[in-house]
Amino acid sequence: MLNLLYCELLKLRHSKMISISVLGAVAVPFMLLVEELQTHAEHPEEKILLDQVYANSVLYMLILANMMVSVAIASYLFSREYAENTWKTILPLPISRTKVLAGKFLTLFIWDLGLTLVSWFSILFFSGIFHAIFGMSEYSLFTAFRWIPKYFLLTIFMFATTTPFVYIAQKTKGFVAPMITSAVIVLGSAALCNQEWGALYPWTASVLLLQGRVEGTGYPVWLSITILIFVSGIGFMLTFLHFKKEDLK
């Protein structure tokens, strides 16, 4: 599997997708810096905490920017083999289709994790700039490192909720359909993220789970987790079944 992962990473050499995705991962931290500056300008007496900046980032990352970036990466990873006509070079090699797909999913997870870490570091960096000029309460590496496990969980949730888009990319052999679908999903997330039903909608359930707000919606935590696992599982299953049976003409 490590060999497959290495092959997938080799395929990304000279690819502009890496730099574009990094820019996407920096978007939320940068917007949070702008928000900090505005808050400071309007209410200079208000304390801005690094912990609070990280907490705010979860919502934006999971339902907006990083989610969209993750869908774009997934679409790129899975549809490029069709676009560049490379399946007919890869599939006659002595390797099963299941392993090829597993290698791609693993690459997607690692890429998502890398981008989450970029976002984590960017928040620390931008907040550091703010701290140097205006001062930020509890600005410390310790606070930042406390968020690493949560960000890891965030990556798992983001990866899990991306699998249906992988299937769409695989099925439609392109970028457009998964990106349009993800835009619709993001609209749904925006509408439900502060509603009780948000606990039942996988893309907002993940945010509520991370923020510990599921119980406040009246729905049990296990239900949100079950829905997340179900949607993710459906995405995986459809992708594997479709690819295993697909004829590449």
Partner 1 sequence: MKMMLQLVSPTAGKIMMFGKDHREQMKDTYQKIGSIIETPGFYTNLTGQENLEILARFRKNVSKASVKHALEVVGLDQEKKKPFSDYSLGMKQRLGIAAAIMHEPELLILDEPINGLDPIGISEIRQFLCELSRTKGTTIFISSHVLSEIEQIADMIGVINQGKLVEEVNMKELHKRKRKYVAFTVSDALSAAKILENQCNVRDYDIQDHMIKIFETEFNVGYFNQILVENQLVVTGINTCEDNLENYFSELIGGGGIA
Residue ranges that bind partner 1, judged by CB under 8 A = 3-4, 6-7, 10-11, 13-15, 80, 84-97, 245, 247-249
For the record, the structure tokens of 57 come out as 């980032």
Q: How far apart are CA 75 and CA 80, in angstroms?
A: 8
Nearer to partner 1, 147 or 243 (CB): 243
Q: How far is the CB of 88 from partner 1 (least distance, A)?
A: 5
DSSP codes joined into one string, 20-72:
HHHHHHHHHHHHHHHHHHHHHHH-TTS--BHHHHHHHHHHHHHHTHHHHHHHH
Q: How far is the CB of 98 from partner 1 (least distance, A)?
A: 12
Q: How far is the CB of 35 from partner 1 (least distance, A)?
A: 36
Is 3 exposed, middle or buried, given 0-12, 13-18 or 19+ CB atoms closer than 10 A? exposed
Q: Are the C-beta atoms of 131 and 36 separated by less than 8 Å?
A: no
Nearer to partner 1, 44 or 92 (CB): 92
Q: How far is the CB of 79 from partner 1 (least distance, A)?
A: 13
Nearer to partner 1, 8 or 112 (CB): 8
Nearer to partner 1, 45 or 247 (CB): 247
